[in-house]
Structure 1
Amino acid sequence: MNLVTKSGKEYVCLMEIHCDFKESELKDVVSQFKGVIYQKPPVRSSVKRRVRKRKVDELEVLEIEGRRVLLRISSEPGTYMRKLCHDIGVVLGCGAHMRELRRTRSGVFVERDSVTLHRLSEALYLYRECKDDTELRKILYPMEVAFCGIPKIIVDDEAVNSIAYGAQLMAPGIVAHQEFRRGDTVALITWKGEGIAIGKALTDSDKIGKKGEVAKPDRVLMDKDVYPKAWKK
């Protein structure tokens, strides 16, 4: 589900500058890279090398040791940290490069809640060999956790199965909703909070009437016939 991969990211980055510098000068240059910036992906990248805009929400200098600088960056997806370090070095006038990088957040998922592969392996072993899912339940998250941060629409039970079959969400099938704009990504959920689908809003939330299309599913998450086929009644 690209809902997570396309959500905001946070990194801790170790940058090395190629000359001596004043701390005040560095912080002044770093502050220029907050907000909307222009980037051209590096030569070794998986996307077409063309200039594009990216938004850097936060850019903080955490530590300075010699020519090495530890940064914390919060940005929209697709922002290249090594290019960011390179561009900071260009503005400083002597160059810089990224030495280390660690992602600390992807959407609502943060590093402090992560688990090691060793722990995951043990949990899977207990489940498969001993039929004990206690440890596995401590590790796994319901997929609905990924819906945090995007508008949600609660769907009436009688409309759930039609959406599971790929139908668009119509106004009569809505129980409640949060605010959204046309074109926004929205999550369709049941009364119980179960994920039905991720889709695109076809209208603004304040323009929903008694009839009409409201959202078009892009990715259906719920199996068919979990809820009854109300349209056969």
Structure 2
Amino acid sequence: MICNSKLPQLNDLLSIDDDVTDEHYGYHPFSRPIDVLLDYGLIALDKPAGPTSHEVVAWVKRILAVESAGHSGTLDPPTTGLLPIGLGEATKALTVLLLGPKEYYAIARLHAVVPSKMLHDVVSMFIGDIYQRPPQRSSVKREVRVRRIYELEVLEEHGRLLLLRVLCQAGTYVRKLIYDIGEVLGSGASMVELRRTRVSMLDEDDMVRLHDLYDAYMLWREKGEEEKLRSIIKPIEYALMHVKAVVVRDSAVDSICHGAQLAVPGVLKVSKDLQKGDLVGIYTLKGELVALAEAMMSAHEIAEADKGIAFTLKRVIMKPNTYPKAWKSKSSSSSNSSSRSEVV
């Protein structure tokens, strides 16, 4: 059985307490049955040129016969490359991908020939924090905002055509970046083609095409062969490899799924470098993602405390009743019992 060792965020955690998991409930992320994986799966799709991102998601839903799917980071119709798609409950966790950088390869056309040294000098000026106003056709409010360019390089030059590689913060408009470079050069510049090759920890090695997804799904449906489909649809936990982690008792899981805050007694393990205010993924002992939360204590404070709210929920991912209920509602408990809205 493939277990938590496949998830790097669950390795080398600080142990707060010990407990065991009941194998009758839940699944290890890489051992979920396919029908369950289709509700907690992540696909790094290689979007073709032409369709909108929403159209691609609709095709994925039709291929996999799922009711719910969503994407992270819209790509314009002409743009190709990495489009992360979450299935079912996994769509709720896609926001974590915005925390990591994005990589693009772009073909730009200068409106006039400029000296190569001048080109490289100007391009280097755009590494670091830059100011951008979203273009008129963007889906966000057109206010000037700061975005960081981590890496920017000219890979090839062919006359007035350039091949650029950009590693940038989420929310950066590469078309506007190229336009601004052209303005500083004085020649003007426009984007010809754009391909996204990385979103956070997902890169080209993870990408799959639509027809590969279709073939893999039909192999499973018609012949019961799971291997290819499992290689394409990753557990949603895969998207949180860069996010700090906390592991909880089985008895705390269903309470969290119903909105209860997580207190110290429910915590078994945490990331050693956890600090107050950090975003974390809450996991079962099997490694399943239960929720996203904000740390209210550091790892050291949790280890030293006997009580108190350790994490406040930001988004519940797991469906309620996946694990057995271990709390009592007010209507069925005595006056000194905790309700599901209180800490676990």
TM-score bracket relative to the smaller structure: over 0.9
Q: Residues 210-232 of structure 1: CA distance to partner in whole angstroms, max 9, x if unpaired? A: 22212222222222233233335
Letter aligned with residue 111 of structure 1: E
Number of aligned residue pairs:
233
In 2: Cα distance, 1:58 partner to 1:126 partner: 41
**Pairing 1:24–2:120 present:** no
274, 299, 313: which is aligned to 1:217? 313
Letter aligned with residue 120 of structure 2: K
In 2: Cα distance, 1:117 partner to 1:20 partner: 40
**Pairing 1:128–2:221 present:** yes
1:63-212 maps to which residues of 2 (within 5 A)?
63-178=156-271, 179-208=273-302, 209-212=305-308
Unaligned runs of 5+ in 2: 1-93, 329-336, 338-344
TM-score (norm 1): 0.92
Q: Residues 20-63 of structure 1: CA distance to partner in whole angstroms, max 9, x if unpaired? A: 11221111111111111110111221111110011111112111
In 2: Cα distance, 1:204 partner to 1:17 partner: 51
Offset at residue 133 of structure 1 (A): 2.3
In 2: Cα distance, 1:189 partner to 1:202 partner: 17
Q: Higher strand share goes to which structure?
A: 1
Higher RCO, 1 vs 2 (CA within 8 Å, ≥6 residues apart): 2
Once the two structures are overlaid, the 10-residue window that deviates more, 210-219 or 52-61, is 210-219
> Does structure 1 retain, via aligned residues, the 8 Å contact 2:217–2:229?
yes
Secondary structure of the residue aligned to 1:211 is coil
Offset at residue 146 of structure 1 (A): 0.7
Q: Residues 117-163 of structure 1: CA distance to partner in whole angstroms, max 9, x if unpaired? A: 11111111222233332321121101110111111111122222211
Once the two structures are overlaid, the 10-residue window that deviates more, 18-27 or 220-229, is 220-229
Secondary structure of the residue aligned to 2:193 is strand
Unaligned runs of 5+ in 1: none
In 2: Cα distance, 1:20 partner to 1:182 partner: 52
Identity in percent:
45
